Amino acid sequence: SCFFIIARVTTLSLDDGESNVLGVGDGAQKFFETGLLGALITTIVASIAWQLVASAFPLAFLGTPITYVLLRICLGLEATGLASGAWVLASIHKKFAGFQKDEVYIGTAEERAA
């Protein structure tokens, strides 16, 4: 929801007869008027801010108790395998593409050695 609020705040609308901002084309101007560009830039800056703080002050950042708790939660979630969405996507892709085991395509190691 914050993304949409930022999009609304950063929306740029021109009155009829006004020239486009920075002389861009009409398509780019319509994109500016959606507010998504501002929301996207704000989201990128907000997501990278913590990374910049952590890289500038690693000991201070990792030494806080909340970071330790969040790190333990993330590692526990990763250990369960629930967050491994790549496996789900690979399984779906395998079914649609009709992939088979390597032995079907290139044979077993014994068959190749002969």
Query: Please, are residues 36 and 11 in contact by the beta-carbon 8 Å criterion?
Result: no
- 84-110 in b/e form (b: 16+ CB < 10 A) is eeeeeeeeeeeeeeeeeeeeeeeeeee
Please give the Cα distance from 26 to 109 (Å, whole number).
61
Residues of the chain with pLDDT under 50: none
Q: Report the predicted TM-score, pTM, of the whole model to 2 decimal places.
A: 0.39
